[in-house]
Chains A and B, each alone.
Chain A
Amino acid sequence: MNELVSLKSPISVNFEVTPVCNLACEFCFNAEMECKKLSHPPLKRVMSILDKLAEAEVFEVRLFGGEFFVYPYWQEVLEYADKLDFFLSFVSNGTQINTKIAQKLVAHRVIGGAISLHGTEEIHESITQVTGSFNAAVSGIRACVENGIGISVLYTLTQANHLSVFDTCLWLKENGVEIDEINVGRLTPYGRAKSDWKQVKLSLHDYLSVFPQLERIRDELGILASFGDAFPLCLLPVKYHDYVIGCWQGTGFGHIDHLGNVRSCSIAKGSYGNILEIPLTEIWVERLAHFRSLKWLPAKCQACDNFCGGGCSASCYDGGMYAPDEFIQGRQGG
């Protein structure tokens, strides 16, 4: 039977420094409907969380939000995290990043990051609901690349953009925006997408239509294009299995929210405990043991020779932290 490896703490975490964001993406999984109206957490708490991550010997911290760069003390956070000797990266919408910010990142040993771009200009801005956000994001990507920071584009698939992945990459290529890679991600029934999930969700056919585009992007544009989240390999033609990066939640990857709550996934809600109250190593080793046992997965997944994690837990409507992929049918195991 399959079982996930136990580590004492995550290798890499997404740390939601602030829940506040300057965009209003129509699918945002980060639950709160009014990201702009939320409050920033105090710097002292952010630093305390970083201290706890360092104590647990987490290697990599991906500065995450909300939007990390709208946090008023983002520079202090960057400096402090670097001082703690983390490997640093970021996940951003790119709109705040300019040359000066990119240089600051480089000064703190950031060599790569991820910026969201959900389509060509019209599509992207229909999703973010902010005019000018496309050019601002592209400008942010350029600033990073010109300063030696490798950029992965994150592209969340929706009904409006799932057929435009190739066109978006073609636009980037033709306009000299040199990204390292593009990772497309699952649309998930959390946050804004949850309320009208039946209307907005993507079908299996929709997802399968994305893979030939990834193949074309690799072959014709020379850009590494992958499926960034987990996907049930049993439903995917074998030729595309290598396109799925998959998910290492609960083993090497964890998510820490702005309050210090620990999750195994940045999207699926719930908490295994708070690192300001309980050591992360204790949470990670003891409280995720059931998760790593995989007994919550359908029996066929537990025994599968081509294990893919049971797809993406976050894709399952009301699935919580222990759910198989929305496209996997079957009863749970023991």
Chain B
Amino acid sequence: MMAECMLPTNLSKEDKEVNMDSEFIPKINCRFKIRQDLNGFLGFFQGKGVLTFNEIGAFIVGQMTGEKSLREIEWAVRKAFTEIADPKGEVVGIAKQLEEAGFF
């Protein structure tokens, strides 16, 4: 879902652990924008770097602005991408990767 950073970044792991239950409200801790590119999506995270995503990953990350819980994001994914087999797994998987990279 989320590819490796394609460019040098200053990503660092934070000590705090985030409880990734369904009620957790993810909020990316920097200003960011996502654009559709030739082969997938690019996310620019100010002061951190650039990440590449597929369409679903871009959708999920775009929801992580501190307004929706993981459960609500999962519902939004279900609605937008009806063909996905495990939307909860997709959402939690991305949240964990972002958390490990110090994005929350």
Establish whether residues A111 and B47, one from each chain, have CB atoms under 8 Å apart when the complex forms. yes
Asked if residues B37 and A8 are in contact (CB atoms below 8 Å), the reply is yes
Pick from A6, A59, A246, A285: contact of B33, CB below 8 A.
A59
Are the C-beta atoms of B38 and A87 separated by less than 8 Å?
A: no
Q: Mark A172-209, 1 if CB is under 8 A from B, else 0.
A: 00000000000000000000000000000000000000
CB pair A11 B47 closer than 8 Å: no
Instruction: Say if the beta carbon of B35 comes within 8 Å of chain A.
Output: yes
Residues of B within 8 A of A104 (CB): none
B35 touches which one: A59, A150, A245 (CB < 8 A)?
Answer: A59
Q: How far is the CA of A150 from the CA of B46 in the complex (A)?
A: 12
Q: Which range contains the number of B residues in contact with the other chain?
A: 10 to 19
Known A-B contacts A7-B42, A11-B42, A57-B35; A245 and B47 likewise in contact (beta carbons under 8 Å): no
By size class, the interface of chain A is: 10 to 19
Q: State which residues 12-51 of B face A: CB under 8 Å.
A: 31, 33, 35, 37-39, 42, 44, 46-47, 50
Is B38 touching A285 in the complex (CB atoms < 8 A)? yes
Instruction: Determine which of A87, A109, A111, A245 lies in contact with B44 in the assembled complex, contact meaning CB atoms within 8 Å.
Output: A87
| Cα of A252 to Cα of B33 in the assembled complex, Å | 15
Chain A residues whose CB sits within 8 angstroms of the CB of B31 once the complex forms: 87, 109
A309 to chain B, nearest CB (A): 13
Instruction: For the A-B complex with A87-B46, A109-B31, A285-B38 known, give 11 more contacts whose Cβ atoms are closer than 8 Å.
Output: A5-B6, A7-B38, A8-B38, A11-B42, A59-B33, A60-B44, A87-B33, A87-B44, A111-B46, A248-B7, A252-B6
List chain B positions with a Cβ less than 8 A from chain A. 6-8, 31, 33, 35, 37-39, 42, 44, 46-47, 50
A interface residues (Cβ-Cβ under 8 A, vs B): 5-8, 11, 57, 59-60, 85, 87, 109, 111-112, 150, 245-246, 248, 252, 285
